[in-house]
Amino acid sequence: MTKVGAMGEGMELLILTNVDPDDGATTPTDHRLDRTHHANSLWHTDRSFKKNLALDSLLSARIVPPVGVETELAGMRVAYAGLDDETKQRVEGQIAMHSLENSRKQIDAELMTVVERNEILPVSHLLVSTNPATGENHSTSPPVRFTSWICRSTRERR
**Domain ranges, ordered by start, for the chain:** 32-157
Q: Side chain identity at 112, as an amino acid letter?
A: M
Q: How far, in Å, are 125, 142, 154 from residue 96 at the CA level?
A: 6, 10, 11
**Does the domain spanning 32-157 belong to CATH 3.40.50.300?**
no
HSE, CB side, 13 Å, CA atoms: give it for residue 135.
0
Q: Is the model's pLDDT at 146 over the cut of 70? A: no
Cα(16)–Cα(126) distance, rounded to whole angstroms? 28
Confidence of residue 8 (pLDDT cuts 50, 70, 90): low
AA letter at 62: R
Confidence of residue 91 (pLDDT cuts 50, 70, 90): confident
40 vs 67, which has greater pLDDT? 67
pTM exceeding the 0.85 threshold for the entire prediction: no
pLDDT of residue 157: 46
In angstroms, the CA 137 to CA 109 distance is 35
More confident residue, 101 or 53: 101
pLDDT at 158 over 50: no
Dihedral sign from CA coordinates of 111, 116, 117, 120: negative
b/e code 108-128 from CB counts within 10 Å (16+ = b): eeebbeeebeeebebbebbbb
The number of helices, as runs of H, and strands, as runs of E, in the chain is 5, 5
